[in-house]
Structure 1
Amino acid sequence: MKIGMIGLGRMGGNMVKRLVLGGHEVVAYDRNPEPVKELQEENDVQGASSIPELVNFLEPRRVVWMMVPAGDPTEQTLETLLSLLSPGDIIIDGGNSNFRDSMRRAKLCRAQQIEFIDAGTSGGIWGLANGYCLMVGGENDAVHYCEPVFKTLAPENGYLHTGPVGSGHFVKMVHNGIEYGLLQAYGEGFEILKESQFPLDLPAIAALWNHGSVVRSWLLELLEQAYAQNPDLKNIRGYIEDSGEGRWTVEEAINENVPAPVITASLFARFASRQEESYGAKVIAALRNAFGGHPVKTE
């Protein structure tokens, strides 16, 4: 199958390489021409200098995979594609879009008889070697047509048609919310170990827990590797961004009346990590001093 890929960032470029290794023809485009040139030089990839050129290089039934940031970049790319594609063609959004946006975009596509698939994609920079976990929402016909692509990108048992449009990004949203909680638990646990009265070897403990422990995981393996490269985690700031999916997970938990204290707390912990100085903490310190005479540290 020949497929167009728009967006060659952190994951898109490696996805192209995996598709080519799997025997697919790929036409690649990115606003930055450099990654396109690199793929052309290193792999059997056809480069495009614009989205219209990418579409022209494809033959009906066209399949175009968007791997661009959520929000306006995805919206603008979709609008451009809708002006160029024909009935029966398929657009796949593999970014971290909000599932409600995906449902709305599917309606826009359906009005032009174009199919829309939302493909929640997990795998990060390791996807080229290990494959990508794909959570795919869409109509049966379109998903079935694109299955050769999904099965090439995913490892064995790493692809699932989750249901109608929107379900793929919904499942990926919850996946990322769970990830927030797992990361926070590991972070807190290793800080408790670090601050203890014992002279503990944290890299050794990370390695130990990856052998037979109930808390072993791929994330813990990655921490073990991080410690091997940088035992004291020097020059790493404790500043943590969020992609938005944790927020959306908490919002949906509220909408569904589902208690999600761990995911919610992990999201708020990320907010706290970005504060040089917490005004809220100043208020608490002042109040403790006022009602209990507790000492206040001054700047």
Structure 2
Amino acid sequence: MQIGMIGLGRMGGNMASRLKEDGHSIVGFDRAAQSGRDVDSLEALVGALSAPRTIWVMLPAGAPTDLTIKALSSLLDNGDVIIDGGNTHYSDDIRHAKELEPFDIHFMDVGVSGGVWGKERGYALMVGGSKEDYRHCLPIYESLKPSGEDGLVLAGGVGAGHFAKMVHNGIEYAMMQGLGEGYATMKHSGLIENPGEVVASWRHGTVIESWLLDLLARALEKDPGLESMPPVADESGEARWMAQVALELGVPVPATAAALFARQSSRGGSDDALKVVSALRAQFGGHVTKD
């Protein structure tokens, strides 16, 4: 297929390369001149594509994606398709589809997992949209997903793809937190001589073997003790969205919430809270915290 790719960063650029390698024709646009782009404007991108056009938007969620889709609505024709593969909130997908409907521009949302390894391994794709649009874009999805494996699903209508990715990332947060807590417990136990070797041994024959465990073992082999890693982990938003939605649905998600709060605490937000706790303990119990 012929595909317009907007956003040629680490994810978009790698995805464009994987599509090219599988025989697709890619016209790439990025604001950065050094990105390897093929055209230097949205107008030029649309002009370089044959109708009906298929354009994949791979930009940060929020204003960059909103503004781009709005601009495309005045440039594209009836029957063209926009695919949002970024980490957009699912409610924004529903809004985008409604805004594009009067122009008869089709819209799909795709939750993408695979990170920087996706170019080689393939990407897990969670798609939201109509069955007709899914069939039309299937050659794209087949090229991006892992070769000869599952990893592709039509999750439901518009919004379902990013909703599924939101839940996926919430699970990911909890799994990563569990691995981190297990490693820290072994490191401070005084009994485990080499926590990295123990982690590596878990990669085979245990019920927790996973790609995340493989990556942790790889990191520990490269940097025993993880001395070069700062004790800070940012959160990209999806786990927070999941916790908020789960609260509205009445679904308890304590593991996801705990992992989310741990990341927020790592950024120093808990310092003042701990000062209050220490002050109160001193006031009611005479407890003095020592450095």
Q: Which runs of 4+ in 1 moved over 4 A?
A: none
Which of the numbers 151, 154, 160 marks the counterpart of 1:158?
Answer: 151
Q: How does 1:161-240 map to 2 (within 5 A)?
A: 161-240=154-233
Matching residue of 2:106 = 115
Post-superposition CA distance 1:144-174 (Å, at most 9, x none): 1000000000012111111100100100000
1:118 & 1:53 partners in 2: Cα distance? 24
Where structure 1 has 5 or more consecutive residues not aligned to the other structure, the ranges are 38-46
2:102 & 2:152 partners in 1: Cα distance? 28
Matched residue count: 289
1:35 & 1:204 partners in 2: Cα distance? 40
Instruction: Write the letter of the residue equivalent to 2:35.
Output: P
Q: How does 1:233-272 map to 2 (within 5 A)?
A: 233-272=226-265
Matching residue of 2:288 = 295
Root-mean-square deviation (Å)? 1.2
Which of the numbers 256, 274, 282 marks the counterpart of 1:281?
Answer: 274
Change (3 A) 1:72 1:146: same
Where structure 2 has 5 or more consecutive residues not aligned to the other structure, the ranges are none
Identity between Structure 1 and Structure 2 (%): 46
Aligned pair 1:93/2:78, yes or no? no
Which of the numbers 128, 150, 163 marks the counterpart of 1:137?
Answer: 128
Matching residue of 2:16 = 16
2:33 & 2:79 partners in 1: Cα distance? 29
1:72 & 1:224 partners in 2: Cα distance? 38
3-state SS in 2 of match to 1:177: helix
TM-score (norm 1): 0.94
Give 1:199 shift: 4.3
Q: How does 1:44-83 map to 2 (within 5 A)?
A: 47-83=38-74
Instruction: Write the letter of the residue equivalent to 2:33.
Output: P
Matching residue of 1:7 = 7
Post-superposition CA distance 1:178-231 (Å, at most 9, x none): 111111111111111111122421221111000111111100100111111111
Instruction: Write the letter of the residue equivalent to 1:67.
Output: M
TM-score (norm 2): 0.97
3-state SS in 2 of match to 1:48: coil
Change (3 A) 1:228 1:54: same
1:10 & 1:172 partners in 2: Cα distance? 18
2:289 & 2:158 partners in 1: Cα distance? 55
Give 1:276 shift: 7.4
Instruction: Write the letter of the residue equivalent to 1:13.
Output: G
